[in-house]
Amino acid sequence: MSDAIHPSSRAIHGAIDYAELEQLGLQADDVLDFSVNSNPYGPSPRVRIALNDVVLDRYPDRECRQLRRAIVQHELVAAGLSIDTLVCGNGSSELIWAIARAFLSAGETTALLNPTFGEYAAASRVTGASIIDYRTCEVDDFQLNIEHCCNWLYEQRPRLVWLCNPNNPTGGWLGREQVLALLAACQRLNALLIVDESYWHFLWPNDAFSAIEFLHSSYMHHILVLRSLTKDFALAGVRLGYVVGAVEQIRCIQEQLPAWNVSAVAAAAGEAALADRSYLQDCMLRLIEERHAFFEALRSSGWRVIPSRTHFCLLEAGSAWSVRQQLLRRGLLVRDCSSFGLPQFIRVATRPQADWSRLVEALKEVMKIC
């Protein structure tokens, strides 16, 4: 049997589908993209300056030491961690697949707290592991019942548990005590908890808690924390992420990664973006203001907005596919959440007011049609 991944096993994502635009006679520049959960203000100006100095005819440092030092200095300084506790990847997606290969095998079980990011299932599936699904309820606005979930884990006894926090696509957030309860359950089961904090910088109100703090506890061998530099630092075009954990586990992940998996361009972009903290802070403050106004405008227009702690949210849309198609014909792209098991919802991310005002008006038109 071929080891190739069947197309149906691949995760479905937002972002522009260039083949689809070609069929519709549209160009990427004709479309306002609300389907991705990235910083809409673009990367720091320092990034473009740094890219001018990238040496293109020399291999980059395969261990990304300079980039890892920058991550420790700017993102992990309060945690007191060394560069040996983290490894970088070509986006957090590459690291998700590396984690699955490192810690899952055929016959084992992995747990998903759904609805959530599709790459967890896709990466787990190709290892031959069985996937079990704990699903939150729409009537509870997709909030996780921790006690019930922990009891479920004790019954199912998975080897690995995936937690997206804040969660994609719901924008839900688990605080310290809730994550600790999950982590304690994993320790009791000798399981590994993967906490994906790709949207941590977008959290509102801001919460100083990060699961990285548990790496200094007795739980350190039962947790890995993922971060993405793609979303908050607006580096989708270069792909960059990292995972933090106990040194022994990080080495296991490194063994699953190819040499030079992070390009010189990506490393330079990451270092420059990480160093410009004032730009990141300014973007997040602007986004908080836009988020509030955008969500209120959606509610005022009659849409059900699922409570979210981030700059993106779910909207109850009836037929997500139909709404997405109607909007795309108007040059507006939203995320059809059918792949999350939510065919009645779309996901939208905050953009500047001039952009989201267009979406709100278009949604009023579409509401009458769909």
Predicted confidence (pLDDT) per residue in 123-167, tens digit: 999 999 999 999 999 999 999 999 999 999 999 999 999 999 999
d(CA 290, CA 350): 7
**Confidence class for position 9, pLDDT limits 50, 70, 90:** low
Find the range with the poorest average confidence among 24-33, 135-144, 145-154, 243-252.
24-33
**Three-state DSSP string of the chain:** CCCCCCHHHCCCCCCCCHHHHHHHCCCHHHCEECCCCCCCCCCCHHHHHHHCCCCCCCCCCCCCHHHHHHHHHHCCHHHCCCHHHEEEECHHHHHHHHHHHHHCCCCCEEEEEECCCCHHHHHHHCCCCEEEEEECCHHHCCCCCHHHHHHHHHHHCCCEEEEECCCCCCCCCCCHHHHHHHHHHHHHHCCEEEEECCCHHHCCCCCCCCHHHHHHCCCHHHEEEEEECCCCCCCCCCCCEEEECCHHHHHHHHCCCCCCCCCHHHHHHHHHHHHCHHHHHHHHHHHHHHHHHHHHHHHHCCCCECCCCCCEEEEECCCHHHHHHHHHHCCEECEEHHHHCCCCEEEEECCCHHHHHHHHHHHHHHHHHC
pTM for the predicted model, two decimal places = 0.94
Q: Tell me, which fold does domain 7-36+278-369 have in CATH? A: Aspartate Aminotransferase, domain 1 (3.90.1150)
Instruction: Tell how strand 130-135 and strand 160-164 pair up.
Output: unpaired
Closest CA to 168 of 6, 47, 337, 365: 337
Domain 45-275 classification at class level: alpha beta
Task: Give burial (CB, 10 Å; 0-12/13-18/19+) of 98.
Answer: buried
What angle is formed at CA 96 by the lines to CA 10 and CA 195, rounded to 5 degrees? 125
Mean pLDDT (whole number) for 248-252: 97
Closest CA to 343 of 324, 360, 362: 324
Q: Is the pLDDT confidence value at 5 over 60? A: no
Res 21: pLDDT: 86
Hey, what's the torsion of the CAs at 174, 68, 256, 190, to 10 degrees? -40
Predicted confidence (pLDDT) per residue in 324-370, tens digit: 999 999 999 999 999 999 999 999 999 999 999 999 999 999 887 76
d(CA 141, CA 313): 11
Predicted confidence (pLDDT) per residue in 155-202, tens digit: 999 999 999 999 999 999 999 999 999 999 999 999 999 999 999 999
Q: Is the pLDDT confidence value at 4 over 50? A: no
d(CA 308, CA 166): 9
Average pLDDT, the chain: 94
Domain borders along the chain are 7-36+278-369, 45-275
Res 158: pLDDT: 98
* Contact partners, residue 301, CB within 8 Å, separation at least 6: 360, 363, 364, 367
d(CA 76, CA 54): 25
Res 77: pLDDT: 83
Res 350: pLDDT: 98
d(CA 212, CA 216): 8
Predicted confidence (pLDDT) per residue in 213-239, tens digit: 999 999 999 999 999 999 999 999 999
8 A C-beta contact, residue 121 and residue 149: no
